Chain A
């Protein structure tokens, strides 16, 4: 079974802090994704990565950056946290061109509260 883990289930930070959210997958997937989930808005794509050191902006990248130094790890960075970034953050991964690249596997989520 694919396993996607996220470093924290719950996180409380202060406005202006730098925040790191970590995601690790154990199935050698090429693609990794970061979403935020807000009530009534569904899931919105922040950034995704199709290879090590490669990244592309999703629909709402403002205020976020990402890092992918190793294939299994994809980090989401909030450079200066703001209250409007309070949300549930979900990481996902999928195979690349060689396999079932449509199906995404999700981690348990990190619920971030910015005070």
Chain B
């Protein structure tokens, strides 16, 4: 069964500093991996996803993530944090061998605070 672990429920960085949000997964099949962002009082928005091919994936708002099979990781990074990046971030893995309906298994989320 697939599972996702996000290390650090709260991360605080200074504006302009590197953002690193950690995600490790467990999957018995080649994983499809996702990062979603949730701004206050809103739904989830897709940041980026990895299915196959290039292991470094670029997403919206300057974020990127690298799939590392040997480390079972899919960490999210951004070189320089902006105040507008303050939000909750969710990593997810897809159960993509379940027929036509693919369920997502979510991590517990990381709340990112950006200090001025």
Which A residues have a C-beta under 8 Å from some C-beta of B?
Answer: 4, 9, 30-31, 33, 40-45, 48, 50, 56, 58, 90, 92, 94, 96-97, 101-109, 111
Further contacts, 10 of them, CB under 8 A, given A30-B100, A102-B51, A109-B41 = A31-B100, A31-B101, A40-B108, A43-B44, A45-B103, A50-B100, A94-B101, A103-B46, A108-B42, A111-B41
Asked if B116 CB lies within 8 Å of chain A CBs, one says no
In the bound complex, CA of A40 to CA of B44 (Å): 16
In the bound complex, CA of A97 to CA of B102 (Å): 9
On whether the beta carbons of A109 and B43 are closer than 8 Å, the reply is yes
Asked if B9 CB lies within 8 Å of chain A CBs, one says yes
Known: A90-B44, A108-B42. A42 touches B100 (CB 8 A): no
Interface of chain B residues 1 through 60 with chain A (CB within 8 A): 9, 32, 34, 36, 41-46, 49, 51
The 5 lowest CB-CB distance pairs between A and B, nearest first, are A106-B43, A97-B100, A42-B108, A106-B44, A50-B101
Known: A42-B108, A43-B90, A102-B32. A4 touches B101 (CB 8 A): no
The distance from the CB of A55 to the nearest CB of chain B, in whole angstroms, is: 11
On whether the beta carbons of A109 and B109 are closer than 8 Å, the reply is no
Asked if B104 CB lies within 8 Å of chain A CBs, one says yes
Q: Which of B94, B99, B103, B107 contacts A42 (CB 8 A)?
A: B107
Which B residues have a C-beta under 8 Å from some C-beta of A?
Answer: 9, 32, 34, 36, 41-46, 49, 51, 90, 94, 96, 99-104, 106-109
Question: Closest residue of chain B to A10, judged by CB?
Answer: B41
On whether the beta carbons of A96 and B100 are closer than 8 Å, the reply is yes
In the bound complex, CA of A17 to CA of B47 (Å): 37
Question: Closest residue of chain A to B96, judged by CB?
Answer: A102
Chain A residues in 8 Å Cβ range of B100: 30-31, 50, 96-97, 101
In the bound complex, CA of A41 to CA of B34 (Å): 18
Residue of B32, B46, B103, B107 with highest tally of chain A CB at under 10 A = B103
On whether the beta carbons of B9 and A40 are closer than 8 Å, the reply is yes
The distance from the CB of A27 to the nearest CB of chain B, in whole angstroms, is: 14
Chain B residues in 8 Å Cβ range of A50: 99-101
Q: Which of A9, A41, A42, A101 contacts B101 (CB 8 A)?
A: A101
